[in-house]
């Protein structure tokens, strides 16, 4: 039976205008990831950090995303509803220029795991403790990945190249081995 073309994914929605900078999310995240669970609170170990400029009344919740090896070259200031947000505030990646998401004891990078646990939480911890709804857990529809069927011409060109490089016997042997593994 064919799977529906859309799937439902859940994600954390951030409403910057509602963030008061209380940092309850940082505390809850660090407590949830402590060993044993909830044994300590240390915002330095949180996978969500509040980028704060208290003088300008700016608070931007930022979660640790995948590590990116390249440094940003753009330095911008964003203006939203008359409020200025400084550079970096909207980059979800744990940029190497910053040390927000580094485990203080080991130096290892931290990454948001959406509070993965067994059984799963109804909502991630940071969402649960956010009293202003700056963080909400929402559903959205996403296209399911469609398998692209290569055109016959592409396959032939690819095989021809491999035969030229490695010889027909080696290519045939590799294909047989691949077929054997796939069928096992």
Sites of contact with ligand SF4 (CB under 6 A): 19-25, 28-29, 32, 47-48, 50, 59, 61, 63, 112-115, 124-126, 129-130, 132, 134-135
In the complex with ligand SF4, the residue whose CB is nearer, 74 or 119, is 119
For the beta carbon of residue 180, count every other beta carbon within 10 angstroms.
9
In the complex with ligand SF4, the residue whose CB is nearer, 132 or 174, is 132
In the complex with ligand SF4, the residue whose CB is nearer, 48 or 93, is 48
For the beta carbon of residue 115, count every other beta carbon within 10 angstroms.
18
In the complex with ligand SF4, the residue whose CB is nearer, 29 or 88, is 29
| Smallest separation (angstroms) from ligand SF4 to the CB of 140 | 16
Q: Of the candidates 174, 149, 147, 180, which has an alpha carbon nearest to the alpha carbon of residue 159?
A: 174
| Smallest separation (angstroms) from ligand SF4 to the CB of 6 | 24
d(C-alpha 170, C-alpha 177), whole Å: 11
């Amino acid at each position: 039976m064919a799977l529906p073309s859309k799937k439902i994914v859940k994600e954390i929605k951030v409403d910057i205008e509602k963030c008061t900078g209380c940092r309850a999310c940082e505390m809850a995240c660090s407590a949830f990831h402590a060993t044993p669970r909830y044994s300590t609170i240390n915002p330095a170990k949180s996978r969500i950090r509040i980028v704060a400029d208290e003088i300008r009344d700016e608070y931007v919740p930022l979660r640790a995303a995948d590590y990116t090896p390249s440094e940003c070259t753009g330095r911008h200031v964003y203006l939203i509803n008359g409020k200025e947000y400084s550079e970096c505030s909207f980059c979800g990646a744990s940029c190497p220029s910053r040390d927000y998401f580094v485990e203080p004891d080991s130096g290892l990078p931290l990454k948001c795991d959406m509070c993965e646990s067994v059984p799963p939480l109804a909502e991630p911890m940071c969402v649960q403790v956010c009293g202003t709804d700056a963080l909400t857990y929402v559903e959205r529809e996403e296209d399911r990945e469609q398998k692209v069927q290569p055109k016959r011409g592409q396959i032939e060109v690819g095989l021809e190249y491999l035969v030229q490089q490695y010889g027909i016997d080696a290519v045939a042997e590799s294909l047989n081995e691949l077929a054997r593994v796939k069928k096992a």
